[in-house]
Amino acid sequence: METQAASDAHAAGFAVAVGERSRASIAAVLFDVDGVIADTARLHTEAWARLAALERLPFDRETAEALRGLSREDSLRRVLGARRVTQQSFHDMLDRKNAFYLELLEAAGPADCLPGAVGLLGEFAELGMRRAAVSLSRNAGRVLERLGIFERFDVIVDGTAQTGGSGLDRYHRAAALLGVAPRRCLVFEDSAAGIATAKNAGMRTIGLGDPRRLAAADMVFESLRGVSARCVLRWLGGSAATGEEPPAPGGCRIVAGHV
Ligand code: BG6
Ligand code: MG
């Protein structure tokens, strides 16, 4: 049976324009994990900082920020900079960083869900949206378990998913598993790299964090705190459909955005 919220959503005609021409209603929401629903970006940073200190490698705030959304291997290349190491040593460092990260993760629990994330997931569920967690991290499943929100997703695509053979990126793969066309997917991401991947997959994007980093996103919020599903969908659909300034969405803190 359709819930009141779902019937409100349909009555409000939450149609989200995709590009200039076609229109498609959003049927699925895809959430990145680290830095979007889980306060784990700081744990990755701390683990890299520990490794860098032991290896006497420089590690500052700018480097830490640049690692957001990079794979474990690419992160290490960035941390190493010009230093050359053997393959054995490279793999050894990857393992040590991951061990530091897992040690830090042991202390994580439901309180480490980022503000607004769980409420927003619940709201999308009420609206009848399919939900996926999509992450580059091979530890994403474990993170969701520790935070107690594993069961809130229909599909979880993490860094262990074999996407190579199919040629699909992680967002396309999640959409395929959900059975929803990419143009009907809305992605929440905190990294520029993740926004680029989602856009290349033909999906709508919401960036979370610094608008300078996330300029390519359709809309950017400082965080999920105070963000409501209805407000996001109405704002995307309203402005795209009419070409007018979007109405001030109650409860949303819009930092930057263009639709
Ligand atoms: C991303 C993080 O989600 O996952 C990156 O933003 C991290 O910081 C990447 O490097 C891979 O994570 P893991 O847990 O497999 O090392
Ligand atoms: Mg992230």
What digits encode the pLDDT tens for the residues 52-101?
A: 999 999 999 999 999 999 999 999 999 999 999 999 999 999 999 999 99
For residue 193, give the 3-state DSSP assignment.
Answer: helix
Mean pLDDT of the chain: 84
> What CA–CA distances, in Å, run from 17 to 101, 143, 178, 239?
40, 33, 21, 9
32 is catalytic: yes
DSSP percent split of the chain into helix, strand, coil, nearest 5: 45, 15, 40
Does the Cβ of 239 fall within 6 Å of ligand 1?
Answer: no
For ligand 1, atom 4, the nearest C-alpha belongs to 137
User: pLDDT for 100-121, tens place per residue?
Assistant: 999 999 999 999 999 999 999 9
Homologous superfamily assigned to 4-39+110-257? HAD superfamily/HAD-like (3.40.50.1000)
User: Which pTM does this prediction carry?
Assistant: 0.84
Does the Cβ of 138 fall within 6 Å of ligand 1?
Answer: yes
Which residues belong to CATH 3.40.50.1000 in the chain?
Answer: 4-39+110-257
pLDDT at 241: 39
Which residues belong to CATH 1.10.150.240 in the chain?
Answer: 41-105
Please identify, by atom number, the ligand 1 atom nearest to the C-alpha of residue 190: 6
Q: Which of 8, 32, 92, 95 is catalytic?
A: 32
For residue 24, give the 3-state DSSP assignment.
Answer: strand
Does the Cβ of 189 fall within 6 Å of ligand 1?
Answer: no
CATH code at 41-105: 1.10.150.240
User: pLDDT for 15-33, tens place per residue?
Assistant: 333 333 233 589 999 999 9
Q: How far apart are CA 259 and CA 237, in angstroms?
A: 9
Residue type present at position 116: G
